[in-house]
Structure 1
Amino acid sequence: MNVNIESLDFKADKKLLDFIEKKVDKLTKFYDGIVSADVKLRLEKEESKENKIAEIKLNVPQSDLFAKRNSTTFEEAVDDVVEALRRQLKKHKEKLMRR
């Protein structure tokens, strides 16, 4: 699977990039038909505690799956997004099996 990571308004360090790739790669355990993943990391302009946003769009055959979460850290936001996508992948896989 091809993972494209884009950080807007800041430079993500290698540790964060490796963490994201590792987490996104784990999604292939639930559905091996994932073509690619587009990850976007952003900082909200507002100075609130939960100003770190992670968005992931998974390209799978016949569909695209998307999730977006914000949190106090990028790692936590990515964990939340990956969990949401895991649930979506399971539903998508069940839907395909019913056809």
Structure 2
Amino acid sequence: MTINVQAVNFDAKPGLEEYLEKKLSKLETLSDKIISAQVFFKIENTSEKNNKCIDIKLEVPGDDILVKKCGQSFEECIDLSVDTLKKLIIRKKEKVSER
């Protein structure tokens, strides 16, 4: 799986991409059909503490899986996104096996 990372309007701190790659690599154990991941880190211009957002688009044959999460830190957003992606991948596999 290739991972493309873009930080929108800021520089990502060192170690953030390694953390992301470690978490996303766990998804490959669930499905070997994941082609690539497009990841966008954004900081929203709000006064709220939950102003850090992440968009992850997994390219999978058939349907792409898109998840957007916001939180207080990018690590928290990555964890929330990966948990949601795991559930969506499992649900998609169950739908395919029912057919």
For residues 42-61 of structure 1, the aligned pairs below 5 Å read 42-61=42-61
Find the residue that maps to 1:62 and give its secondary structure.
Answer: coil
In the other structure, the counterpart of 1:5 is 5
Counterpart for residue 81 of structure 1 = 81
Deviations along 1:1-59, one digit per CA (max 9) or x if unpaired, are: 00111110101123001001111111111111100000110000112100000110100
Within 5 Å, give how 1:7-46 maps onto structure 2. 7-46=7-46
TM score, norm. by length of structure 1: 0.95
Deviation at 1:97, TM superposition (A): 1.7
Secondary structure class of the residue paired with 1:27: helix
Question: Alignment partner of 1:32: what SS?
Answer: coil
The 4+ residue runs of structure 1 with deviation greater than 6 A are none
Gaps of 5+ in 1: none
Looking at structure 1, the residues matched to 69 and 33 of structure 2 have their Cα atoms a distance apart, in angstroms, of: 24
Q: Distance in 1 between matches of 2:37 and 2:17?
A: 13
Task: Tell me the matched-pair count.
Answer: 99
* Percent identity for Structure 1 against Structure 2: 36
Taking structure 2 as the reference length, what is the TM-score of the superposition?
A: 0.95
Partner of 1:91: 91
In the alignment, structure 2 segments of 5+ residues that lack a partner are none
Give the whole-Å Cα distance in 1 for the aligned partners of 2:47 and 2:23.
27
- Root-mean-square deviation (Å): 0.8
Hey, what's the Cα distance between the residues in 1 that align with 2:58 and 2:94?
17
Q: In 1, distance between residues paired with 2:97 and 2:4?
A: 28
> What letter matches 2:90 in structure 1?
K
